[in-house]
Structure 1
Amino acid sequence: MEQTRYPKHMVFGLDIGTRSIVGTVGYRENDHNFTVAAICVKEHDTRAMLDGQIHDIGKVSESIAFIKKELEKELDVTLTDVCIAAAGRVLKTITVRADYEFQTETYVTDVHIHSLDLLAVEKAYDNIREEMQKENIDFYCVAYTPVHYYLNDYPILKLDDHKANKISVELLATFLPEEVIDGLYSAVEKAGLQVANLTLEPIAAINIAIPEKFRMLNIALVDVGAGTSDISITRDGSIIAYGMIPYAGDELTEAIMQKFLVEFSVAEKIKLACLKKKTVTYKDIMGISHKTSIEEVKEALQDTVSFITKNIADKIIELNGGKTVSAVFVVGGGGKIPGFVETLAHNLELSKERVALRGEEVLREVHFLPEKIKKDPLLVTPIGICLNYYEQKNNFIFVNVNGERIKLYDNNKLTIVDAAIQFGFPNEKLFPRRGKAIQYTVNGQTRMTRGELGEAAVVKLNGKETGINTPIVQNDKIEILESTTGKDAEIFISQLPEYQSTIEFQFNNKKIICPKFVVANQNLKSEYYSICHGDCIEILNYYTLGQILEFMDLPYQEDIKVNNVYASVDDKVYENFSIAYGNINEMSFRDLNVESLDTALIEDNVEQTSFNRENTTMGAVETSYHTNTTQTTNKEIHILVNGQRITLKGKDKYIFVDILDYYEFDMTVARGTSLVLKVNQQSAEFSSSIENEDVIDIYWEE
């Protein structure tokens, strides 16, 4: 063949099966076809693989090297990269839902959708780790498929360019153990190749056998190989489930071995003879020659075929939510055994026409340059592996996170966040964390004061500080210093908006000013008391008459009136109430020892408050009693945050971070590569001061 007949870049795919390895080289000229330039098949010389799992890496590597050499010789090219697929021998699938909410209505971009998918993958990782923590097995996500997207909680096929307040995804994530992936990589690399793309065998098969236009239907695809039967199910336009059973063509071969007393390779030839001959001649392990009819072979396989198809049918029903599917497509060599599709149809309670082998009819857009190749169900998965390279160029890469080498499934969109997730770095330690909040009640109303925000995680990529959404590539070195927790919440009684330090009464037509009582958990407290979590604060807006008299250092008399009504010592006197007290001379009123209230009413744990009074006569000016402590000014300001008007109150001065106590802004999930803070269109920090009528902007930026 002439080199000029092939494009510069061709895709090399390997279907590393239990019984054989199929190497395919081809290229795509447009989105609707694929040209196969060459195919090479090599059966394993030994049982190097069992049930889709590599057991002898060296032997498998030798077979891969043989196929590589043969294809290079036929095409006169050098093959360096290869696409492979992993069997679902120990496949784990998890379906999760993730939501992504915007601060304001936003046009959805590819970046938003990718971030949404990663949130779902992270949830799936958490689930698989929790499920497998006792097994001590590391699982890797080798593929994920969005099942449904939602726009503001309504199902939608594509999110791109829509405006939304909230987007969601229901995602199917697929995991394999580390040793399965490592075995495949080792075998390929020992043969002198690099993995360009990794997919799952059921994904490769379904992309060929069930085009998207059919996926609105509830269809199952069964890829019957030698060691495993891989299952995929579609419904409502999506792939909804993957599964596997560890029974396939090898069970049929072993049944022939038992029946006819032959070794494995001879049994394989007898099995294949079922597809094209009427009789078969063989030698058993005793060296005796035999000739048997294909009907006798079929009869020997009947129980095994029933066993395998019953297990496949049960798995399909389990994956499909407890009910059968509408139709089944079968690919792979094991499904070609006479009676296989008919028995599967019976076990699924479907008509024979609803279960069919898929070969030539699904390979119509595949052109084979070698004339000797026949379109066959055996070729569906090998060609699907090549085509997956164009659909989703995936691979594993290695990066270094905080000195530890980790492996990541590369979907061409990897960022530092992905590496942090795989490393097991807690999501909450990437973003600023608030100190502990305190919750309490004031006059029966529940309040909460939030702690201060800490600093975001410090992230370095190859020694340079960067953002957590920075893209990464092979061998990058990542350093992550976890975020800090801010100061725990603290609030004093004096900072409560409704707190005023004094209360006024009219005593014999003169104004007296008394300290306001505050009770915390039934104990009197001063304005300097630091409120604790769970405190019940009561700010009293009254004195009892007895307390006022004690404050005035006067005895009780029966003719005392409050608001012109005779009152007892237990009657409540509210602010600005008038008290009429007889038989008090000017001098005794002026020389009252008001400090006695402090020791009488306030416990030892409260700062002693002293009261001073002006040295004036009753008839000349008002007599005033007041605390000698400096009062906290509760300054109230009004600002505009992202177009929303809010009021800050309870402090003398305000800084940018105070806004977060009044304005909802989620700092725990990054919505971009950097957080933008602005005051009156000027860049700001969390510690920047805020004044009345300032215009504030806070948002994530790519």
Structure 2
Amino acid sequence: MPSLEQKDQNIVFGLDIGTRNVVGTVGYMKDGKFFVIAQKSRGHETRAMLDGQIHDIGKVGATIRTIKNELETETDIHLTDVCIAAAGRVLRTVETSYEEMLDDTRSITDEDIYNLDSKAVEQAYQEFIKNNESDLKFYLVGYSVLHYYLNDYQIGNLEGHNGGKVKVELIATFLPDDVVDGLYKACERAELSVANLTLEPIAAIMVAIPEKFRLLNLALIDVGAGTSDICVTDGGTITAYGMIPAAGDNLTEAIARHCLVDFNTADKIKIDASTHETVTYTDIMGLDKTISKEEVDTSLKPLVDQMAEQVTKEIKRLNGDRPVSAVFVVGGGGCVKGYTEAIAKNMEISEERVALRGEEVMKDFEFLNAGDTARDSLMVTPLGICMSYYEDTNNFVFVSFNGAQTKIYDNGKLQIVDAAMQAAFPNEDLFPKRGQALKFTLNGEEKSVPGQPGESAVIMLNGKPADIHSKIRANDIIEVTPSTAGEPGELEIGSLAEFKSTFKVNVDGKEVMASRFATVDGEPQTSFYKIRPGDDVKILDYDTAEQIAKLLDIEITPDTLIMINNEEANADTPVYENFKVEFKSREDTIMDYYKDIPDADVVAMEQENEEAFENADEAVIADETQFDQEAMDEAVDSITPVKNILAHDLHVIVNGSPVTLHNKADYIFVDVFDYIDFDLSKPEGRGIVTMLNGGSPNYMQPIAEGDNIEVYWKK
């Protein structure tokens, strides 16, 4: 009688392809329960698998075929399709950080955050490829955000805050294509098609942590032979995967050293000691020995504590440097005495919140013809692989992305952006691209004006408009037209806040508010000048006399005499704040100077000169043909000259305050003491400190308009 077909019977065939053993399970789901029809286990005859990765496809395929044949014989069902799982230890995790500048004039959106995360994941992928020097393809399984930062401060949620420097630290998890390929090919050697592929940590969670509990922040530890695989849940989903290279084999090796036996004998001692008070064995010297369960536990305790400390540290790291609420342990290595207690101690949670999962989570499983099948933690992952078949997730699916078939790992929350990443579509082509930033220097400081945003990518999903967050399923058709770049950044000098500021100048006796003076690469420019990339812009704290004239519509001609602070100047002479500027005709200049001489001084000089001339008259002899030359010379010498027309006021800053000096054509440093309250005859310190524009002057040193002077006693 021919075997019944698997599909006709709605039978699930699950394979747990481990490093040491392959476990095959056949069963079916009915009324919310999973019925196990048969189960077979067989160890690898050679080291065909190492650390969860197939090294000899032919030998692993042969082991799978043997288990398949045994199950077909026992169940009388022709098995054609199989569910498998990739070991958690083959997952590759990369921790990375990525930062960028966002416009600080607008609020951060969900799309900004997703863009930041995506760029970080892409960077993690590139770092992984670089460090592994591999051309293999990798599938993004998931990522977990550790921390966000805004302007270098850690923050819980970026959304809604104004932009600035944003940063994300995350862990991205990848599955190498050669692992997937090896599993598929090994199954093909046994004439089996892969109906579903999941990850071992996910399969374990399906049994150990029911879906209703996955909203909680929990951790699952699968303690296998070579590694302890970790996954963390929160908010109804798996948020992170991890692994430490310490597990059951480490315990076996410790027993081998303690008992002086080979690895296989030590492994048997470890297993037997978990259920017997004493274990008898033969050591390498051929001597028969007996060891108690208590002695085995005591010898393993330091290593158990060390493993617990390592795995707890990794869980906290994956969970954003904080403990989880509870921990579940599966796998043979987790059954060792003291392991769960050590986990609780290191996690700083109560012991009752760390539990070994076994029979208590198998209430929805019925074992038909089970015989001596043990419902312990070793059964969790094989049963979870079968259960994953009934979830419409955790499998590889194909989608069409811009006309190319793309294989992608379906973690149950696939979006178009995930397909784009797997298809190596440039991340920057998904989001609006800003035009090139305008970069220049302003008064020696680097400045940047962002470009304008471009158009978003045009995304079509199965012929309908969509966005990067649209959910996708197997065989979806995705078409993406890349986003465009906006116009480059631009700015006129007149828009600079530094240029808009004004200062006060006295022009022809009236106060005028003057604008700043701008140069680009040393050349004067107007407010309408458009700044170009690389320009060296300087906003000076003065205008020229010519600019002041233009501001007031004063025409400068060859006959115009420009006076700045009572001194003749040129059109390009700088005019600073509070300077006095005059525009005059040269014909009126001499008369203007004479008019500035005080009346009292003129009268005094006239009186003195009249007396001198009278004395000269007396020197003339009576007949007016001769005169006393010596007396005349003395009289002329006594005539007082007219006041120096070059005398002017000088404005300086003394000890931070403005001071005006009067009625001299030239001024020297010592003149300042006539205008300040500083008594040299009454010392108030060890000596006098004098400074001129930051230097040390001598008292006869000339001073000029606008000089900065300091005079004080040295304490």
TM-score class, shorter-chain normalisation, is: 0.5 to 0.7
In 2: Cα distance, 1:476 partner to 1:154 partner: 37
Of residues 398-407 and 414-423 in structure 1, the stretch that sits farther from structure 2 once superposed is 398-407
In 1: Cα distance, 2:25 partner to 2:480 partner: 43
Secondary structure of the residue aligned to 1:126 is: helix
| Deviation (angstroms), 1:405 | 8.8
Which residue matches 1:243?
242
Secondary structure of the residue aligned to 2:531 is: coil
| Deviation (angstroms), 1:330 | 2.8
Tell me the alpha carbon deviations over residues 17-58 of structure 1, each in whole angstroms, 9 at most, x when there is no partner. Answer: 22212223444456x654434433222223333343333332
| Deviation (angstroms), 1:79 | 3.2
Secondary structure of the residue aligned to 1:88 is: helix
Q: Is the 8 A contact 2:415 2:469 kept in 1?
A: yes
Q: Is the 8 A contact 1:96 1:124 kept in 2?
A: no
In 2: Cα distance, 1:33 partner to 1:97 partner: 46
In 2: Cα distance, 1:413 partner to 1:216 partner: 15
Tell me the alpha carbon deviations over residues 425-465 of structure 1, each in whole angstroms, 9 at most, x when there is no partner. Answer: 43224455444343679999999876577787799999999
CA RMSD of aligned residues (A): 6.3
Which residue matches 1:12?
13
1:555 aligned to 556, 559, 564, which one? 559
Alignment of 1:95-110 (within 5 A): none
2:127 aligned to 118, 126, 130, which one? 130
Q: Is the 8 A contact 1:14 1:85 kept in 2?
A: no
Secondary structure of the residue aligned to 1:188 is: helix
Alignment of 1:4-83 (within 5 A): 9-29=10-30, 33-73=33-73, 74=75, 76-83=77-84
| Deviation (angstroms), 1:359 | 1.0
Which residue matches 2:187?
188
Tell me the alpha carbon deviations over residues 322-369 of structure 1, each in whole angstroms, 9 at most, x when there is no partner. Answer: 787776533222333456556766777887666543211122233333
Amino acid at match of 2:204: A
> Residue 206 and residue 94 in structure 1: after superposition, are their counterparts in 2 closer, same or farther (change >3 A)?
farther
Secondary structure of the residue aligned to 1:18 is: coil
In 2: Cα distance, 1:116 partner to 1:29 partner: 43
Of residues 13-22 and 350-359 in structure 1, the stretch that sits farther from structure 2 once superposed is 350-359
Matched, 1:376 2:372: no
> Residue 542 and residue 346 in structure 1: after superposition, are their counterparts in 2 closer, same or farther (change >3 A)?
closer
In 1: Cα distance, 2:390 partner to 2:98 partner: 27
Q: Is the 8 A contact 1:256 1:301 kept in 2?
A: no
Q: Is the 8 A contact 1:454 1:485 kept in 2?
A: yes
Tell me the alpha carbon deviations over residues 465-514 of structure 1, each in whole angstroms, 9 at most, x when there is no partner. Answer: 99878888889999988666566456788999xx9xxxxxxxxxxxxxxx
| Deviation (angstroms), 1:316 | 0.7
Q: Is the 8 A contact 2:218 2:234 kept in 1?
A: yes
> Residue 417 and residue 338 in structure 1: after superposition, are their counterparts in 2 closer, same or farther (change >3 A)?
closer
In 2: Cα distance, 1:352 partner to 1:195 partner: 40
Tell me the alpha carbon deviations over residues 267-310 of structure 1, each in whole angstroms, 9 at most, x when there is no partner. Answer: 54444433445666767779x6x7654x4466356434541442
Tell me the alpha carbon deviations over residues 542-565 of structure 1, each in whole angstroms, 9 at most, x when there is no partner. Answer: 95687799957462379x9xxxxx
In 2: Cα distance, 1:545 partner to 1:327 partner: 77
Matched, 1:335 2:331: no
Matched, 1:314 2:310: yes
* TM superposition score normalised by structure 1: 0.57
Tell me the alpha carbon deviations over residues 371-401 of structure 1, each in whole angstroms, 9 at most, x when there is no partner. Answer: 4344221111222233344446123357798
Secondary structure of the residue aligned to 1:60 is: helix
Which residue matches 1:228?
227
Count of equivalent residues: 547
Q: Is the 8 A contact 1:451 1:490 kept in 2?
A: yes
Amino acid at match of 1:314: Q
Amino acid at match of 2:77: D
Amino acid at match of 2:303: F
In 2: Cα distance, 1:165 partner to 1:526 partner: 38
Tell me the alpha carbon deviations over residues 571-593 of structure 1, each in whole angstroms, 9 at most, x when there is no partner. Answer: 99xxxxx9998999xxxxxxxxx
In 2: Cα distance, 1:429 partner to 1:359 partner: 49
Which residue matches 2:666?
none
In 2: Cα distance, 1:342 partner to 1:530 partner: 71
Q: Is the 8 A contact 2:145 2:171 kept in 1?
A: yes
In 2: Cα distance, 1:439 partner to 1:67 partner: 68
Identity of aligned pairs, percent? 43
> Residue 529 and residue 216 in structure 1: after superposition, are their counterparts in 2 closer, same or farther (change >3 A)?
closer
> Residue 486 and residue 353 in structure 1: after superposition, are their counterparts in 2 closer, same or farther (change >3 A)?
closer
Tell me the alpha carbon deviations over residues 141-162 of structure 1, each in whole angstroms, 9 at most, x when there is no partner. Answer: 224568999xxx9989xxxxxx
In 2: Cα distance, 1:427 partner to 1:482 partner: 10
Amino acid at match of 1:555: D
In 2: Cα distance, 1:461 partner to 1:354 partner: 45
In 2: Cα distance, 1:334 partner to 1:442 partner: 65
Which residue matches 2:361?
362
Q: Is the 8 A contact 1:274 1:337 kept in 2?
A: no
> Residue 314 and residue 457 in structure 1: after superposition, are their counterparts in 2 closer, same or farther (change >3 A)?
closer
Secondary structure of the residue aligned to 1:320 is: helix
Amino acid at match of 1:13: G
Q: Which runs of 5+ in 2 are unaligned?
A: 149-153, 500-516, 576-581, 589-715
> Residue 7 and residue 426 in structure 1: after superposition, are their counterparts in 2 closer, same or farther (change >3 A)?
same
Amino acid at match of 1:46: T
In 2: Cα distance, 1:205 partner to 1:550 partner: 89
Q: Is the 8 A contact 2:14 2:25 kept in 1?
A: yes
Tell me the alpha carbon deviations over residues 96-142 of structure 1, each in whole angstroms, 9 at most, x when there is no partner. Answer: 899999x9999x9xxx89x9768635523423533663332565422
In 2: Cα distance, 1:118 partner to 1:388 partner: 31
In 2: Cα distance, 1:344 partner to 1:453 partner: 51
Q: Larger Rg: 1 or 2? A: 2
In 2: Cα distance, 1:470 partner to 1:350 partner: 40
Of residues 368-377 and 401-410 in structure 1, the stretch that sits farther from structure 2 once superposed is 401-410
* TM superposition score normalised by structure 2: 0.57
